[in-house]
Amino acid sequence: MDIFRIEGPVRLTGSVRVNGAKNAALPIMAAMILAPGKSTLKAVPHLLDISVCNELLTSLGCKIQRQDNGNLCIDSTVVDNPVGDYEIVRRMRAGICILGPLLARCGRAEVSMPGGCAIGDRPVNLHIKGLEALGAKIHLKNGYIIAEAPKGLKGKEIFLGGSFGSTVLGTANVLMAATLAKGRTVIESAACEPEISDMANCLNRMGAKIAGIGSPRLTIEGVKTLKPTEYQVIPDRIEAGTFMVAGAITAGEMKLENCRINDMMAVVDKLRNIGVTIDAMNGGCVVCRRGKIKPADITTQPFPGFPTDLQAQFMALLSLADGNSVVIEKIFPDRFMHVAELNRMAANLRKEGQAVIVAGVKKLIAAQVMASDLRASAALVLAGLAAEGTTIVNRVYHIDRGYERIEERLSPLGAKIIREKE
């Protein structure tokens, strides 16, 4: 098992290019099930989660090839095993995304209850509710979701709101299934995340008829078939936000290429409010901090609100603020396993229910810490860049799920970070 050894503090300067969005690529890869034939996806990052998704699609009967130019070719001519096996799906939350397209194409699907990061309970009841509304018969057996629609799916008006707002992957599943349903489907309280819009745009390229993209009301006119396509995945706004925090926490000056500012205005606004300069440029931005970090209050919300996937990284940044901050988690209330690890680095964090009180300290001190999930591991790396001494981050396979060779991409900017065997 690999670890990161990080020497700090450092000041990051230079340019870094943002990769394609993991959270867009994964459901788009699942959408290829709907269109028999060869499709090509561009800007799909080389990540552990992408490899797991490749393995999952291959187990269904698809053929996957990473081309020399980096594009991902998915041949879904044959999908003859509509089963999402536990040993694969347990390793990645997005594995649940094959449920809707398998049901629409094959009339049947057996998909294990998903795994992924340990960030709290993430039920699939809204996925099931939406697919049942389309006419599927669904039951649970031995940890698997068994869905059947031998006579096909029928369009319906569906409300997908839940206790913590809209469901991103639930919207993806129902949307994919609805493209091949008979008649019109209306999804109310659909997720508005850019990754869902990207998947919807890709589906339309494949011949789907989806209106209202980017809004909480999606209207889908079912079609008989979809065709293979060539499509480029949008830039990763969470990776971009992580790099922005890296520049801010190290008082650096970084140029981010391939960054869509309009997809992350809540993040940009918060950074500007705490003293970070962000100047938009063609296709990216420049991030710079020279003064003190100001405290802030942050509440995670569905898009276009502040993303839960950047909560941990911002908590590391606010640990060095000149004053007290409050971070409230509204999406995954248990997503605070990084709090104890940041406190090991001399942060002053106190959890109170769904909130964390962040009392800013003058400096962080290096320590040996344990990554508990993907975004928490990113937060610990950021903290290590700013901390005095040598920080050891264990279980970095978590970060490999969502950041491609992060140590190799930050090192040219001045980071002193190396990967070692434990």
Identify the DSSP state of 309: G
Residue type, 321: A
Q: Which of 157, 191, 194 is nearest to 173 (CA)?
A: 191
Residues classed as catalytic = 117
Provide the 10 A C-beta neighbour count for residue 202.
Answer: 23
8 Å CB contact between 12 and 397: no
Cα–Cα distance between 129 and 174 in angstroms, integer? 9
- Other beta carbons less than 10 A from residue 220's beta carbon: 26
Angstrom CA distances, 353 to 121, 313, 330, 338, 400, stand at 15, 19, 11, 15, 30
* DSSP notation for 320-340: TSSSEEEEE-SS-TT--THHH
How far is the CA of 221 from the CAs of 56, 166, 191, 293, in angstroms? 29, 21, 18, 49
Amino acid identity at 249: I
Say whether 189 sits in a helix, a strand or coil: coil
